[in-house]
Structure 1
Amino acid sequence: MPVMFEGGVDPMVADDYMEQVETQLTSIDVTEDHLKIILATYKFTKDAKFWWKSITNQYKIEEMNWDRFKELFYEKYFPASNKWELKNQFISLIQSNMSVTEYENKFTSLFRFALEMVSNEVDKVRKFISGLDYKMRPLLIAQGIKVYSEAVERALMLEAEAKDKDARREQWRQKRNVGPSAEGPSGKRNRGGSFQFQGQQSARSAPTTPMPAGSARSGVICYRCNQPGHYKSECPQTLVNSGACFGCGQQGHKVKNCRN
């Protein structure tokens, strides 16, 4: 027989208890109403036990049939208002922040209270899919699934795939993240992921021509490459683009042939 039934205010507990009782009475082939009632109330404790005692004082239990017993039981522990509330919960059920497994468990628990709405397997599948996450929903609709168990299995697979993608994306992001220690004062990072100062020349920049110590321009700083010894107009980086000589800045020859 099922576990103890204490009563209480949760109608789902009462409905689960009665469903277990009827399943087991059928399995052991009990058909006589009075015996069924005795077996069903044998596990009553606490509030349920006191309620049943009050019922025995009002009715002749030996003359009560099984349907009347269930009617009294549901009036006490599962009134019509509760059934209507659970039916509305099923109608408005969506996955929201639940996992697919949690959503499916909730769906199955509430499904029995709206059987007239979901009269066949196809309708059940449609209702299940309609409450899933909006990213998953169109993928399942496109597959034209008509079996409920298959819809649940496909939803679980899509959820697992999405979690795997998120995990791999997070690993990739962490690998690319060089951390705040790599940031320079300018706070800029190049496309390769490494940071450099604003105005700092790259590794492939043209070399600068060093000025002799004590030169008049030794204190000059180029605004283009931040190197000493020349002005922006004479910057080797500018000369690279113009094709001029790195030594004198004139057109028509290279620095190796420069006479100046």
Structure 2
Amino acid sequence: MNDDDEARRNEIRTMVVEEVKKAIEASIPRLAQEVEGQVLEVANTMVTSKVEELKEMISELQVKKSKRRCTYKEFMACNPLPYKGDVDPIACQRWISSTEAVFTRSRCEVEDQVMFATGLLQFRAKDWWDAYSKELGDDKVQSLTWQEFKESFLKYYSPQSAIDKIQEDFLRLRQKDETIDEITNKFLERVKFCEEIAGTERQRIVRYHAMLKAEYREFVNPSKCATLNELIDWARDREIEIKRQVERGEKRVAEKPTNASPSKKARHQDQSKKGKASGEIPTCKTYGKHHSGECLSGKKGCYKCGREGHPFYRCPENSKACYNCNEPWHIKAECPKLQQGAKRDGKKDEPPKARGRMFQLTSDEAKASPDVVSGTKKEEGASHSKAQSSQDRGKSLA
């Protein structure tokens, strides 16, 4: 082998090395991508497997937690209300609603509801449950459902007679001195037991509006309210405005009546005014007041019979008479027989004077009544004769 061949081989070797180098350099990015893809695939597989393992662990924990029973301590930690045994439908419904809410919050098991709820009974309610459970027996108590317990409980502590009383109170419910919130609470407590008379939203709106004071009813229009809550909001706004008017001095505070039980006379006057206002007595076309029969305004003579010659209180048709001699035209104090007997006996056995009764009338009632006569000359003459006879009796005694 000569030197030329050796040089050619070296040159070829150098060329091959350079080509291989170039090929390797050219394939490095592709190789890196392939390696990176394989590494990412392996990593994704490992992460996916780990995530699945974590999901399985979480599901197992949830299953274990759901299978765990609620304890009585956890039930009592929700602060359920006790029940002391009042025969009151409103209190019964409140207790049942509160206890069922605690069942939901504490995740109480269905078979434990009666046992946990009866632990809340106190005093008379505890006595009732002890007697009722003995009547049922241990086996029936263990299988007693909450619905069965609730039916027996309501039958005893929420009888129909108590519900009827609530319905009567609801029909008579009227706002007096209560605030809007106070009267609203009373309304909502009772309306739950009055489905027959206030079962729809419109019926509740009408009932609530009729229950309010006049100063609220005049301001609030129930026909413009779609819901009861909207009507209550209107009434609250009116209450705030009334308080502001009182503070500014634009409205006087309504005074409470001092006499809780009005007298018989006052009740009679109220009933008389109520009868007149209701239109039982017609209105006079002459002067616009109320009276029955023919109007005698402007006419002379007696208001009872219409004839002249005597006033009303000396009318022959008047049923009043003297208590001593039963004769008309005078009263016992003016009886001639008593006066003659007193003169004959020297006034020693003078009979006691009859006690008079006073009736109070307003000016409008006096004008409206046909039985009242004022300002006539005959009455003045009668009064003068009475005064003169009293003076004569005084002189005879002297």
Pick the TM interval, shorter chain. 0.5 to 0.7
Relative to 1, partners in 2 of residues 1:113 and 1:171: Cα closer, same or farther, differing over 3 Å?
A: closer
What are the residue-to-residue correspondences of 1:242-253 with 2, within 5 Å?
A: none
Would the aligned equivalents of 2:163 and 2:193 in 1 still touch at CA under 8 Å? yes
Aligned to 1:233: none
Moved over 6 A (4+): none
- Count of aligned pairs: 171
Would the aligned equivalents of 2:201 and 2:228 in 1 still touch at CA under 8 Å? yes
Relative to 1, partners in 2 of residues 1:31 and 1:114: Cα closer, same or farther, differing over 3 Å?
A: farther
Relative to 1, partners in 2 of residues 1:38 and 1:82: Cα closer, same or farther, differing over 3 Å?
A: same
The aligned amino acid for 2:218 is P
Query: Structure 1 residue 29: deviation in Å?
Result: 5.0
Structure 2 residue aligned with 1:70, among 150, 157, 168? 150
- Distance in 2, Cα, partners of 1:171 & 1:48: 50
- Distance in 1, Cα, partners of 2:118 & 2:181: 34
Q: Deviations over 1:150-179 (max 9, x none)?
A: 21111011111112212222799xxxxxxx
State the TM-score, normalized to the length of structure 1. 0.59
Q: Deviations over 1:215-256 (max 9, x none)?
A: xxxxxxxxxxxxxxxxxxxxxxxxxxxxxxxxxxxxxxxxxx
Query: Structure 1 residue 28: deviation in Å?
Result: 4.5
Structure 2 residue aligned with 1:50, among 127, 131, 134? 127
**Residue 22 (1) aligns with residue 105 (2):** no
- Distance in 2, Cα, partners of 1:48 & 1:88: 26
State the TM-score, normalized to the length of structure 2. 0.40
Greater relative contact order (Cα 8 A, min sep 6): structure 1 or 2?
A: 1
- Structure 2 gaps of 5+ residues are 1-78, 253-398
Aligned to 1:206: none
SS in 1 for 2:156: helix
- Distance in 2, Cα, partners of 1:143 & 1:66: 42
The aligned amino acid for 1:43 is L
Relative to 1, partners in 2 of residues 1:75 and 1:106: Cα closer, same or farther, differing over 3 Å?
A: same
Aligned to 2:245: 165
Relative to 1, partners in 2 of residues 1:113 and 1:28: Cα closer, same or farther, differing over 3 Å?
A: same
SS in 2 for 1:67: helix
**Residue 118 (1) aligns with residue 195 (2):** no
The aligned amino acid for 1:139 is F
Would the aligned equivalents of 2:206 and 2:222 in 1 still touch at CA under 8 Å? no
Aligned to 1:7: 85
The aligned amino acid for 1:46 is F
Relative to 1, partners in 2 of residues 1:31 and 1:122: Cα closer, same or farther, differing over 3 Å?
A: farther
What are the residue-to-residue correspondences of 1:46-195 with 2, within 5 Å?
A: 46-59=123-136, 60-141=140-221, 144-169=224-249
Relative to 1, partners in 2 of residues 1:48 and 1:169: Cα closer, same or farther, differing over 3 Å?
A: same
Query: Structure 1 residue 53: deviation in Å?
Result: 1.2
The aligned amino acid for 2:200 is N
SS in 2 for 1:96: coil
- Distance in 2, Cα, partners of 1:47 & 1:8: 8
Q: Deviations over 1:65-122 (max 9, x none)?
A: 3332112212221111111111222222111221111111111111111123323322
- Distance in 1, Cα, partners of 2:221 & 2:145: 47
- RMSD of Structure 2 on Structure 1 (CA): 2.4
Query: Structure 1 residue 52: deviation in Å?
Result: 1.0
- Larger radius of gyration, structure 1 or 2? 2
- Distance in 2, Cα, partners of 1:171 & 1:92: 28
Relative to 1, partners in 2 of residues 1:169 and 1:84: Cα closer, same or farther, differing over 3 Å?
A: same
Would the aligned equivalents of 2:216 and 2:238 in 1 still touch at CA under 8 Å? yes
The aligned amino acid for 1:161 is E
Q: Deviations over 1:124-160 (max 9, x none)?
A: 2222111111121132126611222221111011111
Would the aligned equivalents of 2:174 and 2:212 in 1 still touch at CA under 8 Å? yes
Structure whose residues are more often helix by fraction? 2
- Distance in 2, Cα, partners of 1:39 & 1:143: 47
- Distance in 2, Cα, partners of 1:23 & 1:88: 30
- Distance in 1, Cα, partners of 2:199 & 2:184: 18
Would the aligned equivalents of 2:245 and 2:251 in 1 still touch at CA under 8 Å? no
- Distance in 1, Cα, partners of 2:156 & 2:223: 45
The aligned amino acid for 2:115 is I
Would the aligned equivalents of 2:170 and 2:187 in 1 still touch at CA under 8 Å? yes
